[in-house]
Chains A and B, each alone.
Chain A
Amino acid sequence: MDSHGGVPDLLGAWALGACDDDESARVEAHLTGCATCAAEANRLRVTAGWLALDGAVPPPVTLRDGVLAVARTRRAPNPLGALAAAYAAQVARLDGVLRALSAADWHRPDPRHATVDGIIAHLAANDARLAEDAGVPARPGTGGTARATWRAQADALVAGLVILAPDRPVRLAGRGAPQRAPVRDALVQRAFETWIHLDDVTVAVGRPLPPPPTGHIRHIADLAARLLPRAMVTTGTVHLVLHGPGGGEWTVDAGAGPEATIFADAVAFCRLVANRIAPDALRHTVHGDRPLAAATLRAAATLGCD
Chain B
Amino acid sequence: MRLRDRLVAGDDTALTEVYDRWATLVHSLALRIVGDRGAAEDITQDVFVHVWERPESYDPARGPLRAWLSVVARSRALDWLRRGRVRARYQAISPPVTVEGPVDEALMSDIVAKAVRSAVADLPEPQRKAIRLAYFGGHTYREVARQLGIPEGTAKSRLRVALRTIADRLTADGIVDQ
Give the complex CA separation of A162 and B158 in angstroms: 49
Q: Are B163 and A47 in contact (CB under 8 A)?
A: yes
CB distance from B87 to the nearest CB of A (A): 23
A: contact size bracket: 35 or more
In the complex, 18 of the A-B residue pairs with CB atoms within 8 angstroms, ordered by the A residue number, are: A13-B159, A16-B135, A17-B134, A18-B144, A47-B163, A49-B71, A50-B166, A51-B29, A51-B120, A51-B135, A52-B32, A54-B32, A54-B120, A56-B107, A64-B23, A78-B9, A78-B10, A162-B9
Assess whether A84 is interfacial by the CB under 8 Å rule.
yes
Closest to A12 in B: B160
Interface residue SS majority, chain B: helix
Q: Are B11 and A77 in contact (CB under 8 A)?
A: yes
Indicate which residue in A47, A63, A72, A85 contacts B41 across the interface (CB closer than 8 Å).
Answer: A63
Indicate which residue in A56, A59, A77, A85 contacts B44 across the interface (CB closer than 8 Å).
Answer: A59
What mask results when residues 1 to 30 of chain B are scored 1 for a CB within 8 Å of chain A, else 0?
Answer: 100001001111111100110011111110
Q: Are B103 and A56 in contact (CB under 8 A)?
A: yes
Chain A positions 1-42 with a Cβ under 8 Å from a chain B Cβ: 8-13, 15-20, 42
Contacts of A10 in B (CB 8 A): 156, 160
A12-B164, A56-B107, A63-B41 are known contacts; what are 6 more A-B pairs with Cβ within 8 Å?
A: A44-B167, A54-B32, A58-B28, A67-B23, A75-B53, A84-B9
Interface residue SS majority, chain A: helix
Give the complex CA separation of A78 and B55 in angstroms: 14
Q: Which residues of B contact A (CB under 8 A)?
A: 1, 6, 9-16, 19-20, 23-29, 31-32, 40-41, 44-45, 48-49, 52-53, 63-64, 66-67, 69-71, 73-75, 101-104, 107-108, 110, 112-113, 116-117, 120, 131, 134-136, 138-142, 144, 153, 155-164, 166-167, 170, 175-178
Indicate which residue in B29, B103, B144, B176 contacts A47 across the interface (CB closer than 8 Å).
Answer: B176
Listed residue (A19, A43, A44, A74) with the most chain B CB atoms within 10 angstroms of its CB: A43
User: Contacts A18-B144, A59-B41, A81-B10 hold; do A68 and B16 have CB atoms under 8 A apart?
Assistant: yes
